[in-house]
Chain A
Amino acid sequence: MNIIAFAEQRDGKFKKFAHETVQAARKAADALGGTMTAVVIGKNVSAIAPGLGAYGAARVIAVEDDRLEFYSTTAYSKAFSDVVSREAPGAVFFPASQMGKDLAPRVSARLGAALAPDCTAIRAEGGDLIATRPVYAGKALAEVKVTTPVKMFSLRPNVFTATAADGAQAAVETVKPELGENDFASKVTSVKVSEGRPDVTEAGIVVSGGRGLKAPENFKLIEDLADVLGAAVGASRAVVDAGWRPHDEQVGQTGKTVSPSLYIACAISGAVQHLAGMSSSKYIVAVNKDKDAPIFQIADYGIVGDVFDVLPALTGELKKTLGK
């Protein structure tokens, strides 16, 4: 089975999850004895395309058009679907990123290709691909198979590994998409970037705070810890609803789903709705003064203690060990 991987870039840089998608597609194609082609869309993207070779792409199709500098749902859907139709692969891999989750359903409808979204594992079996995906807020795992001729999958960021091999450069084919005015029925006119810390869904480490911090200004303790670790700041719904933190930091069933390598939950009780958003993190640390708080049931390491005491000590210790 041949596979196409959508390699997301923004601002002329590949996202980490683009590398993850490409490498997962490479592995799946190898297991099924097929080829893997990565596709990148944007302005001047052929310049960055060879770099995907390090992640296992021998061939990259760069769809280039100055009008594609910013994302456009309608234009990207058309441009990408056209490439997929031409290449006629058996499967298409997307990242389950904000762009991937917007693009994939439209491509799915265009091509009549069903999608298994937000997968945390994909394996080859009997010439087919079987995906695992968390459902019911991670309280169950579903194993699914896509039965349409072209099968689509989106991959949860931070779950699949991406390791760069030295030296390999991909061969790049540059194509011009066929796009008319109508294909830009929706377009991004500007991007507002939040300054400072990384986004919770992209960060390797997330430090989250809950209601036990007692007041919005005490989030300084969370921010200081996040900054020594180069981490993102997350929050429970209780503090977002109270207006202490912006909602784009909310982790959980009605917030973001994150899977960093380290999640530090500070003064968060660990309600099921919170766990829904972070239980696939690789390591979980909890700091809570209540030894019976449910968060300890899923934490790998816990300190039963007061955040006002533990967090400054932790930040101080890390500054020392990490030499900052």
Chain B
Amino acid sequence: MKIVACINHVPDTETKVKVGADGKTIDPAGVNYMLNPYDEYAVEAGLKLKEQYGGETIALSLGPDANKETLRKALAMGVDKALLIKDDSVRDSLSLARAIAEELREMKPDCVLFGKQSIDYYDEQVPGLVAEFLGYPSVSVAVKLEAKDGNVTCDREIEGGHEVVETSFPVVISAQKGLNAPRYPSLKGIMAAKTKPIEERQAKPFPSGVEVLGISKPPAKSAGKIVGTDASAVPELVRLLQEEAKVI
């Protein structure tokens, strides 16, 4: 089975966001990057499928050279190959997904795994877009994945419960926290990942469909009222919630 995990390289969650000089992107100074957290579940799911079916696992990332760092993390976790689709431009999800689908179409994978969402732009779009471009069925926000022969059964998270989805390979799946427990790279894996080659191809250009007019810091919220320091403050809190905030 040919299994591809698409992974993204995103600012780490502690990043202090400063608006860049162009007013449209963030100031990259001092920003540390990491493997998008949800994509670790995707890589783990890929490794598990290979354990079950045999075959090959490939980590794919689209972006600048810096994304190699994230690809090395996937190699250290145990994927067989890494592929950088090199691109230095800023793209929207539609254009990004078109470029990824273009590569995948030639690779003809049986399963393409994604994280549920990138934690930079929170788009939650690339998996569904890629699936549609490939003509594959898809399951998003999967918290359980069971494969038997050619069939796939997933639980996907919905409001107040789960949907049980039945589909078959080839398929696109996006991973939610809870799908599995991503393995830690072994020391041997980390050492090996340092020297494994990363294949590179140039990304095809596609126009963006979303234009960022500007980004700004959200209006600073002023710290609120400290109502008290023990349970005696409770009646006043309840009054404020009823009369001032009018939320209960």
Residues of A in contact with B (beta carbons under 8 Å apart): 15, 70-71, 73-74, 77, 97-99, 101-106, 108-110, 112-118, 130, 133-148, 185-194, 198-199, 201-202, 205, 229, 247-248, 250, 253-255, 257, 261-262, 272-273, 276, 279, 282-285, 291, 296-306, 309-310, 312-314, 317-318, 321-322
Interface of B is mostly: mixed
Is residue B57 within 8 Å, beta carbon to beta carbon, of the partner chain?
Answer: no
B213 adjacent to A186 (CB under 8 Å): no
Complex interface bits, B233-248 against A, C-beta within 8 A gives 1, otherwise 0: 1110110111001011
Q: Which 10 A-B pairs have the closest CB atoms?
A: A114-B209, A105-B128, A109-B132, A313-B231, A186-B167, A186-B137, A185-B137, A199-B160, A300-B224, A139-B17
Q: Which of B154-189 contact A (CB under 8 A)?
A: 155-168, 171, 177-178
Known: A97-B159, A300-B245. 8 other contacts (CB 8 A): A73-B165, A143-B212, A147-B209, A201-B159, A202-B159, A254-B119, A257-B122, A301-B240
Is residue B131 within 8 Å, beta carbon to beta carbon, of the partner chain?
Answer: yes
Complex interface bits, B22-56 against A, C-beta within 8 A gives 1, otherwise 0: 00001000000000011000000000000000000
Can you name 9 A-B residue pairings with CB atoms under 8 Å? A73-B137, A104-B128, A134-B218, A135-B121, A140-B217, A148-B94, A247-B178, A254-B38, A301-B240
Residues of B in contact with A (beta carbons under 8 Å apart): 11, 13-17, 19, 26, 37-38, 92-94, 97, 119-129, 131-133, 137-141, 143, 155-168, 171, 177-178, 208-218, 221, 223-231, 233-235, 237-238, 240-242, 245, 247-248
A117 adjacent to B124 (CB under 8 Å): yes
A148 cross-chain contacts in B, Cβ below 8 A: 94, 209
A77 adjacent to B15 (CB under 8 Å): no
Q: Count CB-based A-B contacts (< 8 Å).
A: 278
A190 cross-chain contacts in B, Cβ below 8 A: 163-164
From B16, B26, B215, B237, give the contact of A314 (CB < 8 A). Answer: B237
A113 adjacent to B225 (CB under 8 Å): no
A109 adjacent to B247 (CB under 8 Å): no
B165 adjacent to A272 (CB under 8 Å): no
B177 cross-chain contacts in A, Cβ below 8 A: 247, 250, 254-255
A194 cross-chain contacts in B, Cβ below 8 A: 160-161
